[in-house]
A = this chain, B = another copy of it.
């Protein structure tokens, strides 16, 4: 699974960071999923290799505008782009009427089926490639993280079983390898029974806003990648006397270290953190604060950067 960040700023866009949106891309590289959809997400897609035609589902972590105001435009542009595939949109119930009103009031007609599902009663959602479940977080409004788990990654023929059942090597094996159902000795053989994952499934968690990383203790066990907000650094929260329901880099780093998270990605940075290291506060302050508490593989998300979990299990930038 790859990750591509379409927005890494908190609350408001800046010149170099848009508001929240994260693409989770199947290992096949084709279909993908979107977590949050701040205003301008469709604009960011124009600057990526992702197409809204290949988008399988959208997941919204919470109701705040910087996480969802890009929905109407994305849905309308997908329509104008001729999308016909169904699209699932999993989001807080409080936003359902707003999305529907955006489409009806603007006279927007979608040529594809759009299914709105409530995140609050979300049963694990799944496609052929991934299962997605929600984990409750703590913020000023209800917020969740989404746990992506690969299903049957890189399936290979279960040769042991085929041989044991006396299914002859040849065209039958080839058809099963392609996922087709075959007949043999008067019996129907389903491909899924003869294909098994050739590596363990990856697990990635992409969180919404959250001031209590400890809520992830259970789901973060053995996770490959944890994507979590680090809106502030400690000195800023101390000066403001308020974290507004957000986490500091320190708090997330401490949690990730304790939980043994292999790859931690921080995102959703307050617009006050400058890119220029000569200015203060700057984004390096966030990195330095996290590194004090976390010895694992740390990444500070950058807009439009795509990352891949390598064979060694570490998340690395994919060169364009």
Which residues of A pack against B, CB within 8 Å?
11-15, 18-19, 38-40, 42-43, 46-47, 63-66, 68-70, 72-73, 76-77, 80-81, 94-95, 97-98, 101-102, 105-108, 140-141
Tally of this chain's copies: 2
Determine the chain B residues whose CB is within 8 A of the CB of A81 once the complex forms: 12
C-alpha gap A14/B64 in the complex (Å): 26
Determine the chain B residues whose CB is within 8 A of the CB of A68 once the complex forms: 106
Known contacts being A15-B47, A18-B43, is A141 close to B102, with CB within 8 Å?
no
Contact of A80 among B12, B39, B108 (CB under 8 A): B12
Contact A63 B141 (CB under 8 A): no
Determine the chain B residues whose CB is within 8 A of the CB of A72 once the complex forms: 39, 65, 69
Determine the chain B residues whose CB is within 8 A of the CB of A107 once the complex forms: 63-64, 140-141
Best-buried of A39, A42, A46 by chain B (most CB within 10 Å): A39
Known contacts being A98-B102, A102-B98, A107-B140, is A80 close to B11, with CB within 8 Å?
yes
Determine the chain B residues whose CB is within 8 A of the CB of A76 once the complex forms: 65-66, 69
Could you write out 17 A-B pairs with CB less than 8 Å apart?
A11-B77, A12-B77, A12-B80, A14-B46, A15-B46, A15-B47, A39-B39, A39-B70, A39-B72, A40-B73, A65-B102, A66-B73, A69-B73, A69-B106, A94-B105, A95-B106, A97-B105
